[in-house]
Amino acid sequence: MLRVAKLTDYATVLMTVLAREAGTVLSASEMAARAGLELSTVAKVLKPLAQSGLAESVRGANGGYRLVRDPQSISLADIVEAMEGPLAMTECSIHEGQCGIETSCGVRMNWLRVNDVIADALRGVTLASMAQSAPLPRAVRGIPVRLTA
């Protein structure tokens, strides 16, 4: 089964929280509440996002995190690469010459094609579109109230 790591999934959730509040500084605890995640998990995910230049840390009494770029200019590929490194289905997709059977391998070119299709698909989805289509986390949804007489 192919799937992104859990922390990468959480990174996409946190980035959509930031995208909905583009330009606003949100504390890690605010983000945790809005995303329905543990504060320790949010802190762990925000570090590589900041190191990659997708989010930035703002110090001070009103500090927290905000997006560095416009959500329309951040792709899902950017987020995955920030969390997991270069997009590669197989080792030989990014490191030529690292495999002992590379010269006789009949599948490398096909894996490269698959890798390119997946990378293109991830590059084609922007953070802005993810933020628009993602439902609000439960933590920020309104609570229905019924008044009785």
Point out the residues of the chain with pLDDT beneath 50: 140-144, 149
Which tokens belong to 102? 């590379």
- What are 33-70's pLDDT values in tens digits? 999 999 999 999 999 999 999 999 999 888 899 999 99
Q: Where are the domains of the chain?
A: 6-85+127-139
N-terminal to C-terminal alpha carbon distance within the chain? 55
CA angle 21–142–67, rounded 5-degree value: 10
* Non-local CB neighbours of 138 within 8 Å, separated by 6+ positions: 36
Spatial distance between the Cα atoms of 106 and 102, rounded to a whole number of angstroms: 8
DSSP state of 37: -
pTM recorded for the entire structure? 0.82
Q: Percent of the chain at pLDDT above 90? A: 62
The fold for domain 6-85+127-139 equals Arc Repressor Mutant, subunit A (1.10.10)
The pLDDT value given to residue 102: 76
Spatial distance between the Cα atoms of 45 and 11, rounded to a whole number of angstroms: 6
